[in-house]
Amino acid sequence: MTVSTLAAAEPETLEIATFSVGENLIGVDIRQVQEINRNMRIASVPMVPSRVRGVINLRGEVVTVIDLRTMLGLEAIEITREARNIVLSSGGERIGLLVDSISDVVTAAATDIVDAPGNLSGVDGRYFRGVLKLDGELLLVLDVDEVLA
């Protein structure tokens, strides 16, 4: 077996940044995370969908901030000391996601992520790529492209 054959046989390893939204543990591929900050100086924008919390000035760039709780069909986020703004990058676009709190980074094989069931703890399942089983809980893997669509 050659080295290239061996490399092809190994599943892709993902690092997933995890965070809490309501009672759910959610994660996103860490390669899409640009930064995590406490910038909660969000300027309101008139006549936008309720999931759009507003915009922030991120070192001279205007970034739209989405309330991930609202987007998933939950009650709007309450800004607390633990709340964070996760700035994601996908397809050249940057967007902030308001989340309840930040957790850890989880490493997993891409093959360990299974299709998300249709009935995900009362949240809109179309925003998830799949589910990763962890010790004692499920990690919902966010589909960033679907969130940005």
Closest CA to 139 of 118, 100, 112: 112
pLDDT at 106 over 70: yes
Query: Which domains, ranges and CATH numbers included, belong to the chain?
Result: 15-148 (2.40.50.180)
Judge contact between 33 and 46, C-beta under 8 A: no
CA 19, 87, 149: angle at the middle one, nearest 5? Answer: 95
pLDDT at 118 over 70: no
Mean pLDDT of 10-36: 90
Mean pLDDT of 76-103: 89
pTM of the predicted model as reported, rounded to 2 decimal places? 0.82
List Cβ neighbours of 79 (8 Å cut-off, separation of 6 or more). 40, 98
Indicate the pLDDT class of residue 67, thresholds 50, 70 and 90: very high
Work out the percent of the chain whose per-residue pLDDT is above 90. 36
Q: pLDDT value at position 8?
A: 56
Reported in sequence order, the residue ranges of the chain that DSSP labels E, i.e. its strands, are: 13-21, 24-29, 33-37, 52-58, 61-67, 84-90, 93-99, 101-109, 128-134, 137-142
